[in-house]
Chains A and B, each alone.
Chain A
Amino acid sequence: MKKSYYQPEDLSKFKNISDWSPELGAKFFEYYNTVFEEGALSAREKSLIALAVAHVVHCPYCIDAYTKDGLQRGIAKEEMMEAVHVGAAIQSGATLVHGVQMMGIHDKLSM
């Protein structure tokens, strides 16, 4: 067993998921590639969204991929960090908004 669950070289093997399920793999990659094309949102904007989500879902492969993608697109480091903060704000907000549930339960059960 390797010492880490994550191997950097696995990123370049992502396409191999199709080996054991070609039809689903092909459908996924077609969908994935279509999502990132220019649309109502620019490919640049989508790259920043992907970077923020990559942090929220703690995906080291995605962080690697979308930091490089941002560099290639000329996205500034300040823009990248702001995107990460957007992800962090939503994630922490999602935790905190559950506090309202906690407060409601607390008050309902308290005399």
Chain B
Amino acid sequence: MLARSRTPSLRTHHRLYSTGLTNTVRTFEKGNRWPGWEVVIGIEVHAQIKSRKKLFSHAWTPNLGSTPNSCVSPYDAAFPGTLPRLNPACISLALRTAIALRSDIQHRSAFDRKHYFYSDLPAGYQITQHYHPIARGGHIFLPQSDVSVRIEQIQLEQDTGKSMFDPRRRLLSIDLNRAGMGLMEIVSKPDLRSPEQAGEYVRTLQAVLRTIGASDGNMEQGSLRCDVNVSVNRPGQPPGTRCEIKNLNSVRFMIAAIGSEVYRQIAMLDTGTSVPQETRGFNEDTGETFTLRSKEGAPDYRYMPDPNLPPLFLTSGLISSVQEDMPALPDEIRERLVSHGLTQNEIDVLMAVDSGHEVGFDGRQGRGAVTYFEALLTNDRSSKTVINWIIHELLGQLALRKKVFRENPISLEQMGGLIDMVQSGLVTGSSGKLLLRHMLDNPSPAASTELARRLGLLATREDGLLEQLCVQAIANMPEEADAVRRGVPNVINKLLGRVMKSSKGTTNPQSVRKMLEKLLSPS
């Protein structure tokens, strides 16, 4: 049954605040940007669920480059006679999100139809969980602001299609690729106090969603979108009337929009005008917000329980199996990497690789940089050596080739083999780097030792050959050899360089030095 009488969540924000249901971290920002004013912000984040398939159909979810209308099933296009079919992968990913945000998973949630009429919504309604969300409550900690932000609820819903207007041809094009993709709407309580905190909230949430593989969380590509509620009030006074700013598609614009909206509301209140409750847009060119519709113009969505979708019952067994498969959260990963002896700087670099996309579609454990690093910590390899190879060589060379980590063709076995060969002196450091570049440019399944052999990069280890090269060098550089024999320091390096050059770098400098010292020792 639909609890129709419930006021929509966001409308309860300010009420909750004023009735004192507040936590201890809710200190107002005391900057001098807005002297004598307090700012209250709540955010609704719409995150596309990272599933291969849509929320209620078996159509593939589109990639960035998908041809318009190529990922559309008859259901997505609202063909007569089609019915929804819930994709369990979307449920699991929403549950991961709920667990990560310490939200209270509801054993019973339900789907409603929200009616509105727009050409990119083919059925004339969107299926959403507004009244009976999959999870309620929860919080997320923002380390920089040192603030814990409470979560109101997490709900599942369908994404809409996209409409593009071509003013030259006066043509409205509809692309239904996105129609029916799963979305999570994550609603915060009005716990944010400045545009910068709002920015940190979105970035922190992005990091969490990416780490657990629930969403790509990419604002520029539209897989994460924000609506922001802003109000201002005098200290000690109840919160002011809020305005909602819709469709902000980057953190930078969101911060700018909030700032501009705060100034606008303060200016109105300063002149004795009250702020009308309304929905506003943000003009990226002027940096100002503008009216989209007033409260009176707010549509009646005529919510109705979806008669095709029975309530969603989640058993404790399912919830605990999601919990078991849960990838580590950013804080936990950080802690683990510290225990491996990495520096903060190295951790930051490693975790930022491919924006932290460690997990694949439908929550499958992927091959992100952190996983790659940790998988290489076997065979007594030191974490320092491994992290140096990854950060300085592998990531550097990938960047040089304008490739992302996901495109790394070097398997764990190949990388491990390469590191081991260098460590054991089987190839020299410089040969190792050469081999890595070769493997990046010529992907091959062959083992790295085999590749080193084929390329003639194996270090010249046979003492006979090494001795021969050293004897040759001594013969060619008699003056230097004499100087070494007399104990003049550093001259041995000239001989060493000669040997390295004649061996084309395949000799191990340490072995060469030892051999030269042996040959030139006064005994």
Q: Do A and B come from one complex?
A: no
